[in-house]
Amino acid sequence: MACGEVGWVVNFLDYQSEFNAQNLTQLTHLLETWGVTAPPRLERRGKQDCLERFVLNRFFKYQLKNFLFDFPITVSKGENPDFMISIGNRKVGVEVGEACDPREQTEWTENEKRACETDEFAIRNIDLMNPDRSKQFSEILNQAILKKCIKASDLCDELLLYSNTDSDSFEDADWKLAALSSLPDCMARFSKVWLLSGKDLIELRERKVHVRDATDFYG
């Protein structure tokens, strides 16, 4: 096992079916309700499963733009990997992870609390002129990948990361790839490493942009 990876024994019986889609029409219809919303920031404690469904919902919707699915598709929820997905004749274990700065998250939560107390909108100030933004973004993603390399079980085939940081706000996919010029070698243990960042979907190992933000005028 690479990079201090922990060995895990995963029982397939622990995975309970979330949904089954026999064709594209069924999948599109299911994604209109299943995992369509994330819990509000101040109500997320104990609702990690709901947040992971929201991330997978976005991932499926982005992939629908490329029509890359075989059917039938069955999604089952469990732990490590977070989802076991049967696609046609294949079974893929998908682990979901958040790439964030804990200090930033604490600040956002406090900001949200103050907004609720004063009945105002929570507004975050983003310093787009900060020269360290790309470095911060790289550090956040690298730490998230390293953490999953250590904790992921042998059944985790693919890693799906979602970026939850202001460091990449308002930047296009090419900026993000340039900022991520260096990534941990241990991520080779996953067959694919995906990054959901805003409205961009990037396959990190192949450095391939699958879906770009519709407002990205550079691509």
- What number is the average pLDDT over the span 22-46? 88
Range of the domain at 91: 17-211
- The per-residue pLDDT for 3 is 36
Structural domain contains residue 217: no
Q: Is the pLDDT of residue 106 over 80?
A: yes
Q: Which residue has the higher pLDDT, 164 or 42?
A: 164
- Helix, strand or coil for residue 61? helix
pLDDT at res. 46: 78
pLDDT bucket at 139, cuts 50 / 70 / 90:
very high
User: Does 56 reside within a domain?
Assistant: yes
Q: Is residue 5 predicted with pLDDT exceeding 50?
A: no
Quickly state the pLDDT bin for 111 (edges 50, 70, 90).
Answer: confident
% the chain with pLDDT above 90: 61
- CA distance linking residue 37 with residue 28, whole number of Å: 16
Residue 11 inside a domain? The answer is no
**Within a domain: residue 3?**
no
Domain membership flag for residue 172:
yes
Backbone φ and ψ for 78, nearest 5 degrees, come out as: -160, -145
Pairing of strands 158-163, 90-99: parallel
Q: What is the pLDDT of residues 53-103, one digit of tens each?
A: 999 999 999 988 776 678 999 999 989 999 999 988 889 999 999 999 999
Question: Is 206 within a domain?
Answer: yes
Alpha helices in the chain (DSSP H): 24-30, 48-64, 102-118, 133-151, 173-179
Q: Would you say the pTM of this structure is higher than 0.85?
A: yes
Closest Cα partner for 73 from 143, 23, 107?
Answer: 23
Mean pLDDT of 172-192: 95
Q: Kindly give, in sequence order, each residue whose CB lies less than 8 Å from that of residue 183, ignoring residues fewer than 6 positions away.
A: 141, 142, 145, 204
Q: How confident is the model at residue 217 (pLDDT cuts 50, 70, 90)?
A: very low
Q: pLDDT tens digit string along 85-99?
A: 998 888 999 999 999
In this structure, which amino acid lies at residue 170? Answer: F
> Exposed/middle/buried for 90, CB within 10 Å: 0-12, 13-18, 19+?
exposed
In a domain, 1, yes or no: no
What is the CATH classification number for the domain harbouring 100?
A: 3.40.1540
> Residue 119: is its pLDDT beyond 90?
no
The number of distinct structural domains making up the chain is 1
Select the more confidently predicted residue: 4 or 209.
Answer: 209
Are 172 and 182 contacting, i.e. CB atoms less than 8 angstroms apart?
Answer: no
- CA atoms of 96 and 99, how far apart (whole Å): 10
Residue 110: inside a domain, yes or no?
Answer: yes
Q: Enumerate the β-bridge partners of residue 82.
A: none
Strands laid side by side in the 192-197 sheet = 16-21, 73-77, 83-87, 90-99, 158-163, 192-197, 200-203, 208-211
Q: How many CA atoms lie within 13 A of 166 on its CB side?
A: 15
